[in-house]
Amino acid sequence: MFEQDLLAGKVVLITGGGTGLGRAMGERFLELGAKLAIAGRRAEVLAQTANELGALNEVFFQATDVRRPDQVESLLDAVAERFGRLNVLVNNAAGNFVSPTERLSHRAFDAIIGIVLHGTVYCTLEQGKRWIKSHQPGVVLNIATTYAQSGSGYVVPSAVAKAGVVSLTKSLAAEWGKYGIRLNAIAPGPFPTEGAWSRLMPTPELKRKLTGRIPLGRVGEHRELANLASYLISDYAAYITGDVITIDGGESVWNAGEFNILDELSQDVWDALERARQR
């Protein structure tokens, strides 16, 4: 689908790029010619990923906690020193767990809001200032969720933090467009990763139920999300900013439509209804 040099000449930083969807995006960006930097808290995880992906193109990594503005600054300094510039920031780092909200402490909220919302703000603000000061254009891609817009019980710290990320995306797209800075978000539905599934899918029964609510009948493949991200950070998407693109196999529209539960009715029932109508 893509030209092999789609992202040639672009330096991309992915927070949370050592694992899961961040890693999948990094792998795809490298294939398409980008230079890659990844960050996360665990140096050993980053080192292994950089090593495994590094055959394709250069990969830089630095252990960073995005909740710490001083560490974010140091990361952006290091990327600029390594590659001479940063063209694309992907805010992908996140934390999440499932729990009835009344069981959570304020520190549990702080943990998630700190990673997801503060982390995204710190990275975006610091890099945005650098682009504006140096008169360079830039691209920010934020990884949100479908429930950032709908809300969701049992993941309330994540839902409020991701809603903030979506608002940041739209607000800064409006304010920073004049500087040539584009911001978009992806709202993924379920994409099995070790990080998400180990924390969010406590039973096999829940996994089965989840797939049952997806019109396309399956969960997402990492490469599908990575391809969408590649397009959005590429110059082909140069006129797209302030948007949130959903990639969820139709899960959110299915959940939103009052009568979609009629999926449960068999053809026999529909036949009987039709016969009754014709009587």
Check binding of 62 to ligand NAP (CB under 6 A): no
Taking a C-beta distance cutoff of 8 angstroms, is the pair 44, 27 a contact?
A: no
Using CB under 6 A as the binding criterion, the count of chain residues that bind ligand HXC stands at 18
Please choose, out of 29-37, 54-62, 93-101, 256-264, the segment that lies near ligand NAP by the rule CB under 6 A.
93-101
Considering beta carbons, is residue 37 or 200 the nearer one to ligand HXC? 200
- The token pair at 231 is 């397009």
- Give buried/exposed letters for 199-209 (b at 16+ CB in 10 A, else e): ebbeeeeebee
Q: What is the DSSP letter of 118?
A: I
Query: Could you say which of 41, 130, 170, 213 contacts ligand NAP (CB under 6 A)?
Result: 41
Active site residues: 147
- The token pair at 253 is 């529209």
Query: Could you say which of 1, 100, 102, 105 contacts ligand HXC (CB under 6 A)?
Result: 105
Cβ contacts of 210 within 8 Å, gap of 6 or more: 190, 201, 219
Partner interacting with residue 241 (select from ligand NAP, ligand HXC, none; CB below 5-8 Å by kind): none
Partner interacting with residue 97 (select from ligand NAP, ligand HXC, none; CB below 5-8 Å by kind): ligand HXC
Taking a C-beta distance cutoff of 8 angstroms, is the pair 47, 67 a contact?
A: no
Check binding of 64 to ligand HXC (CB under 6 A): no
Count of Cβ atoms closer than 10 Å to residue 21 Cβ:
25
Check binding of 267 to ligand HXC (CB under 6 A): no
Query: Could you say which of 2, 97, 179, 231 contacts ligand HXC (CB under 6 A)?
Result: 97
Query: Could you say which of 22, 128, 157, 164 contacts ligand NAP (CB under 6 A)?
Result: 22
Residue with tokens 């539905």: 189
Q: Is 2 left (phi over 0), alpha (psi -120 to 50) or beta?
A: beta
Q: Which parts of this chain interact with ligand HXC (CB under 6 A)?
A: 94-97, 99, 104-105, 107-108, 111-112, 145, 158, 190, 195-196, 199-200
